[in-house]
Amino acid sequence: MTIAERDAKDFDGQLVRPRWLYKQWMLAGNPAYFFEMLSREFGDFVHYRGLFQFYLINHPSLVKQVLQETHEAFNKQSEIYNRFANVFGGGLVVSEGASWRRQRKLIQPLLGPKSVERYFDGMVDSINRMLNQWELARADGRVLDVLLEMNRLTLEIAGRALFHDRFEERAHDIERWTHEINLYCAKPPLPIIRSIWFPSRRNIRIKRTLRDFHRFMQEMLDRQRSAEPCGSLLDVLLQSKHEESGKPMSDAEIRDEMLGMIIGGHETSSAALTWVWYELGKHPDVATKLRQELKTVLGDEPIRMEHMPRLRYTRMVIEETLRLHPPFWFENRNVARDYELGGRKVPKGSLIVFSRYSLHRHPKFWKNPDCFLPDRFDPDALENPRSRYASIPFGGGPRVCIGIHFATLELIVAVSMIAQRFRLEIDTSDRHAMSAKLTMTPSHGLRVTCHRP
Ligand code: HEM
């Protein structure tokens, strides 16, 4: 039986209905733990009825079905994504049908595996600049918050790719706006306050944030229009035309796409990198093996694009980190028509949710699921082949992350360059609690000191 056939048949569990409002209070604490508790107590297919009603799925075959049939039987017209649409407008993250297809077709080639190579030099330059600052912190024995550092780094990398080099003076504003958007999107879509017009404190703040963000984006658009072509994503989008109509993208379309890519593309990568330093700090044996690979492949040379395929173990460390700490941890879909899922009828209009945090730690699909073991991602390892949908940090199906090649390149380059130059020691007295908002990060940052490797 092939993996695909096994995946299609694999779910043989039951749909379980906990009693009404079962432990609903936990949702207000850490929602990732709430969903994990539901899966552990009731299994892989749970119909939850409380202030929010949903079907929770936690099995690769069910998740695969929902993601692959998105656009047909499932869509993003859920209350949660409708709230996101207040922020992302008509951008890829939330658009549907013909409009999504048109935009995706236009943008995908710009972020393909070969196309992203042109951002390599910019990435290396930004990382080098940060590492030169870290030399000073190392000399003084200063403690750095690596979450903050990674956030600034990935914002600079995304900003340079999107806008070339004219965004830096607003970097602090973008950090603030992104944080505000992250908080807004993470709020449960309660019936009365989900409309952006309701005068709640959060709504007033998000409207102000969006007004400023849009104004900034329009300035960047106008500046790029009157400047020399520079090859940035903004530049390419301004020059591109829709295939069928031959018309250029409107300013509002470009603005919404850029906003989606800044939000989707920098906090996710910075969370992933922070968790890499957390895991390497906790597992010195893995850190040593990683440094050995870097010594063999790079030596003391600066990293080059040709090194990428040989950084096998570095890639495995990243994959294992993304399994345990998926930055974009929560997913949901609206059921577009009555549908039979896992042998049970799920009515049109229902909400399907899943948590990558629980899915990636499913004990049926991973041995010692809570342990950090990069070797399990060795392509030749015995634990393979397994369902591809057992770990999907970038999603799957037609709406798989459009930035996957950009992010993968960025993560490999950043981990290699940083580990080549420094060993980061984490403060073991910190509790390192996890916060699950739009992205999953350590709640209070990650304090580290820098040392020679
Ligand atoms: C470690 C880094 C990243 C992670 C973990 C991540 C994760 C994801 C996931 C899970 C989805 C799919 C959501 C769904 O099923 O609806 C997604 C979609 C998306 N991501 Fe990423 N992402 C990352 C980096 C990036 C980057 C660098 C960019 C931009 C350059 C980006 C832009 C987007 C966009 C625009 C979508 C919507 C695609 C669509 O619906 O067609 N992401 N991302």
pLDDT digits over 380-413, tens only?
876 655 678 999 999 999 999 999 999 999 999 9
Check if 104 has its Cβ closer than 6 Å to any atom of ligand 1: yes
Q: Give 395 Cα–ligand 1 centroid separation in angstroms.
A: 8
The domain ranges of the chain are: 3-451
Check if 401 has its Cβ closer than 6 Å to any atom of ligand 1: yes
Residue nearest to atom 37 of ligand 1 (CA): 93
pLDDT digits over 161-195, tens only?
998 777 778 888 998 998 899 888 887 766 555 56
Residue nearest to atom 16 of ligand 1 (CA): 399
Cβ–Cβ < 8 Å for 239, 410: no
- pLDDT at position 189 is 64
Q: Give 354 Cα–ligand 1 centroid separation in angstroms.
A: 16
Mean pLDDT by 10 residues, the chain (453 residues): 51 90 91 96 96 94 92 90 89 91 89 95 96 96 96 93 80 89 79 66 89 92 88 87 84 91 91 97 96 97 97 98 97 95 94 97 93 93 72 96 97 98 89 89 94 93
- pLDDT at position 2 is 44
Give dist(CA 282, CA 430) in Å, integer: 12
pLDDT digits over 14-40, tens only?
999 999 999 999 988 899 999 999 999
- Domain 3-451 sits in CATH at 1.10.630.10
What is the DSSP secondary-structure string of 167-229? -GGGHHHHHHHHHHHHHHHHS---TTTTSTTS--HHHHHHHHHHHHHHHHHHHHHHHHHTSPP
What is the DSSP secondary-structure string of 345-370? EE-TT-EEEEEHHHHTT-TTTSSSTT
The 3-class SS string of 368-430 reads CCCCCCHHHHCCCCCCCCCCHHHCCCCCCHHHCCCCHHHHHHHHHHHHHHHHHHCEEEECCCC
Q: Give 149 Cα–ligand 1 centroid separation in angstroms.
A: 21
Give dist(CA 108, CA 112) in Å, integer: 6
Q: Please name the amino acid found at residue 353.
A: V
Mutate to test the pocket of ligand 1, among 325, 401, 440 (most ligand atoms within 8 A of CB): 401
Cβ–Cβ < 8 Å for 206, 87: yes
pLDDT digits over 51-67, tens only?
889 999 999 999 999 99
Cβ–Cβ < 8 Å for 91, 403: no
Q: Give 66 Cα–ligand 1 centroid separation in angstroms.
A: 17
286 three-state secondary structure: helix
Give dist(CA 422, CA 426) in Å, integer: 12
Q: What are phi and psi of 99, to 5 degrees?
A: -65, -40
Rg over CA atoms, the chain = 22
Q: In Å, what is the CA distance from 371 to each residue of 210, 310, 364? A: 40, 25, 14
- pLDDT at position 194 is 59
**Ligand 1 atom closest to Cα of residue 266:** 27
- pLDDT at position 434 is 94
Element (H, E) at 239: helix 233-239
Residue nearest to atom 13 of ligand 1 (CA): 395
Tokens found for residue 89: 């407008």
Q: Give 56 Cα–ligand 1 centroid separation in angstroms.
A: 21
Cβ–Cβ < 8 Å for 281, 425: yes
Q: Give 163 Cα–ligand 1 centroid separation in angstroms.
A: 19
Q: Give 269 Cα–ligand 1 centroid separation in angstroms.
A: 10
Cβ–Cβ < 8 Å for 342, 378: no
Q: Give 331 Cα–ligand 1 centroid separation in angstroms.
A: 12
Check if 261 has its Cβ closer than 6 Å to any atom of ligand 1: yes
Check if 327 has its Cβ closer than 6 Å to any atom of ligand 1: yes
For 198, residues 6+ apart whose C-beta sits below 8 A from its C-beta are 192
- pLDDT at position 1 is 45
